[in-house]
Structure 1
Amino acid sequence: MGDEPVLECRGLRKVFGENTAVDGVGFSIAAGETYGLLGPNGAGKTTTISMVAGILERDAGDVLVEGRVHSPRDGRGKSAIGYIPQELAIYPDLSATENLRFFARLYGLSRARARARTAEVLEVIGLADRAKEPVKQYSGGMKRRLNIGIGLLHEPRLLILDEPTVGVDPQSRNAILESVARLAAEGAAVLYTTHYMEEAERLCDRVGIIDEGRLRAEGTRRELVGLVGENDRVLLTAEGDLAAAAEAAGKLPAVRQAGHGEGRVDLLVESAREVLPAVLDTVTRAGAAVRAVEVREPNLEAVFLHLTGKALRD
């Protein structure tokens, strides 16, 4: 990753009537870094990136792209940005090649460069073999991939993707995530919004958790999980003397908390997968017959619940 941020946001604020959609949001993204805005629908993700992209005027705050203040009237700043919106921005009666060449010319690429970049982008998004077909014959996932390709044509330093996998099939979703990871590896700064926890965990170097227009926390996955503790929860479905089993397990050095209920022993354990054999041996010796084991590792869903008091998909 580069030392200087490609994008820096400070105190972004946007109000619609009596509704404060974004309230004091700030973050930065370096070259080669993928930053995820993780939050439920209506959290303020799209409003935030619309201000970053220069589509929406901000009521307060600053956006700097490559060190320069960026605004909706700043053509130079916009030329450094590739923006892929939730909505499809493609012409269905044209082929993928025709769409890409058209938008390449809008970006100001020469005819020769437009042809070259079209061929390169088709390979990146995996549509080279279907490039001559009318887009209206494409699946939803293929259209999404073309939508992404349009944002890549001018080789932007900052790539902004607003929930690009919503409503796509698993194969296209995987292709999109792989493409985003590859672009970051090649040096692009990526701002990625999602309400899918697994996407944020897979793609993002750092994550900002946003809810009700405010950035509740940000950091690496490890840093965020540390907010709720890095212990794993181990659920044992069992029969026998469960009280004795929980008491015995609670004496193990790695077990932070132990309890029991009807048909189960519930443990909070440090590095559960490493000490699970010792846990099972201990509860068995204490008189419990274990029928099933479930290990729940801490994740961003747990962090979101801890910070906001509600599940990510609420």
Structure 2
Amino acid sequence: MPMPMTQIPALEVTDLRKTYSGRVQALKGISLSVAPGDFFALLGPNGAGKSTLIGIASSLVNASSGTVRVFGEEVATNRSAAMRLLGLVPQEINFNLFEKPFDILVNYAGFYGVPRAEAVPRADEELARAQLSEKAHTMSRTLSGGMKRRLMIARAMMTRPRLLILDEPTAGVDIEIRRGMWKTLRDINAAGTTIILTTHYLEEAETLCRNLAIIDHGQIVAAGPMRELLARLDVEGFIFDIDGEVPAQLPLVDGVTLTSANSHCIEVDMPRALDLNRVFNALGGAGIRVRSMRNKSNRLEELFVHLTGNGKGGA
């Protein structure tokens, strides 16, 4: 009996292996399932196997064994059907810099069989979403780095993919532009497109994604809901905003590390089992008044380091 469409994973990877010449094992039998509508992070150090997995999923690399399915369509045996469902935003800028953004989008859509009568209004729509309408008929080589990144996303969306894979989509852009791109990606996901994101900005993954998998040395070392995986950490961190300046000497609290984050903030690292009131009492006893507190934003980095021994998400 066929599986109902709503239950078919957006991406299903089963016992996937890839061995390159020289017997280098890039993937060692990984299995992974991404649900429809998810915003999923695929993380790992440099050389962990992420790029190989993306290459196989997008039919650019042949697997040694195992299967990859996009909404039920097997990539190796039904490539055309699978690729009609998938959009890829690679890490490298790979459009013609001597073409105009509007033409890039329309021509890309035409290559995938979208009639020009549909492609033209769709290009206008995607350029507007990417905030590139004013640059539609400007030579693309004149675009800034952030604009080129947004154009890559707009191009991938021209085929209306049900699954969008983004390989380092915000690499090299400043934080303000990056946050603007986050909104665009959230909007795309909210409209129903499943997104798989690789990024070395771990804050980005923690902010955007609901589920994740971490790959290390060709194997998945952790996978599941973001909140559940972060809850595995034995320690937790907070930032306390205080009245006045942080004193040179902070009180000692057994099992707790207190450091100055800046002149008005104290960074707190402590085991989960400890009562946070001990910290408040110690600070109060030292005449330090806490105005507000928030979780540290690098919890995913702590988990990543714990699982891989590496401090960066890699490529």
Normalising by the smaller structure, the TM-score range is 0.7 to 0.9
1:153 aligns with 2:155: no
Q: Distance in 1 between matches of 2:180 and 2:239?
A: 34
Query: Are the counterparts in 2 of residues 56 and 72 from structure 1 also a CA contact under 8 Å?
Result: no
Q: Distance in 2 between matches of 1:119 and 1:218?
A: 38
Q: Which of 43, 56, 61 does residue 56 from structure 1 map onto?
A: 61
SS of the residue corresponding to residue 180 of structure 2 reads: helix
Hey, what does 1:34 align to over in structure 2? 39
Hey, what does 2:50 align to over in structure 1? 45
Give the structure-2-normalised TM-score: 0.83
Name the amino acid aligned to 1:5.
Answer: P
Query: Are the counterparts in 1 of residues 86 and 162 from structure 2 also a CA contact under 8 Å?
Result: yes
Hey, what does 1:306 align to over in structure 2? 306
TM-aligned CA deviation for residue 135 of structure 1: 0.3
Give the structure-1-normalised TM-score: 0.83
Name the amino acid aligned to 1:168.
Answer: V
Following superposition of structure 1 onto structure 2, how do residues 156-305 of structure 1 map, counting pairs within 5 Å? 156-229=161-234, 231-232=236-237, 239=249, 245-246=252-253, 257-258=255-256, 268=270, 270=272, 275=276, 279-282=279-282, 284-285=284-285, 288=286, 297=296, 299-305=299-305
TM-aligned CA deviation for residue 171 of structure 1: 3.5
1:106 aligns with 2:111: yes
Hey, what does 1:5 align to over in structure 2? 9
Q: Distance in 2 between matches of 1:119 and 1:63?
A: 33
Note the residue ranges of structure 2 that are not aligned, 5 or more in a row. 1-5, 241-245, 260-265
Change (3 A) 1:94 1:233: closer
Q: Distance in 2 between matches of 1:275 and 1:36?
A: 31
Task: Say what the alpha-carbon RMSD is for the aligned residues.
Answer: 3.1
Larger Rg over CA atoms: 1
1:89 aligns with 2:91: no
SS of the residue corresponding to residue 159 of structure 2 reads: coil
Q: Distance in 2 between matches of 1:31 and 1:228?
A: 28
SS of the residue corresponding to residue 5 of structure 1 reads: coil
TM-aligned CA deviation for residue 225 of structure 1: 1.3
Q: Distance in 2 between matches of 1:81 and 1:265?
A: 43
Query: Are the counterparts in 2 of residues 29 and 190 from structure 1 also a CA contact under 8 Å?
Result: no
Change (3 A) 1:48 1:234: same
Mean alpha-carbon deviation: is it higher for 64-73 or for 155-164? Answer: 64-73
Change (3 A) 1:260 1:142: closer
SS of the residue corresponding to residue 161 of structure 2 reads: coil
Hey, what does 1:253 align to over in structure 2? none
Q: Which of 137, 151, 156 does residue 142 from structure 2 map onto?
A: 137
Note the residue ranges of structure 1 that are not aligned, 5 or more in a row. 251-256
Change (3 A) 1:76 1:52: same
TM-aligned CA deviation for residue 234 of structure 1: 7.7
Following superposition of structure 1 onto structure 2, how do residues 114-125 of structure 1 map, counting pairs within 5 Å? 114-125=119-130
TM-superposition CA deviations, 1:246-305 (whole Å, max 9, x none): 3xxx5xxxxxx34799xx997625599x946x63334554xx565999976461111111
Q: Distance in 2 between matches of 1:98 and 1:260?
A: 56
Change (3 A) 1:19 1:284: same
TM-aligned CA deviation for residue 41 of structure 1: 2.3
1:20 aligns with 2:25: yes
Name the amino acid aligned to 1:52.
Answer: A
Change (3 A) 1:271 1:146: farther
TM-aligned CA deviation for residue 4 of structure 1: 3.1
Change (3 A) 1:61 1:305: same
Query: Are the counterparts in 2 of residues 284 and 290 from structure 1 also a CA contact under 8 Å?
Result: yes
Query: Are the counterparts in 2 of residues 234 and 269 from structure 1 also a CA contact under 8 Å?
Result: no
Q: Distance in 2 between matches of 1:225 and 1:184?
A: 23
Query: Are the counterparts in 2 of residues 184 and 190 from structure 1 also a CA contact under 8 Å?
Result: yes
Change (3 A) 1:304 1:130: same
Query: Are the counterparts in 2 of residues 232 and 271 from structure 1 also a CA contact under 8 Å?
Result: no
Mean alpha-carbon deviation: is it higher for 60-69 or for 228-237? Answer: 228-237
SS of the residue corresponding to residue 207 of structure 1 reads: strand
Q: Distance in 1 between matches of 2:256 and 2:171?
A: 40
Q: Distance in 1 between matches of 2:100 and 2:310?
A: 44
TM-aligned CA deviation for residue 237 of structure 1: 6.4
Change (3 A) 1:283 1:87: closer
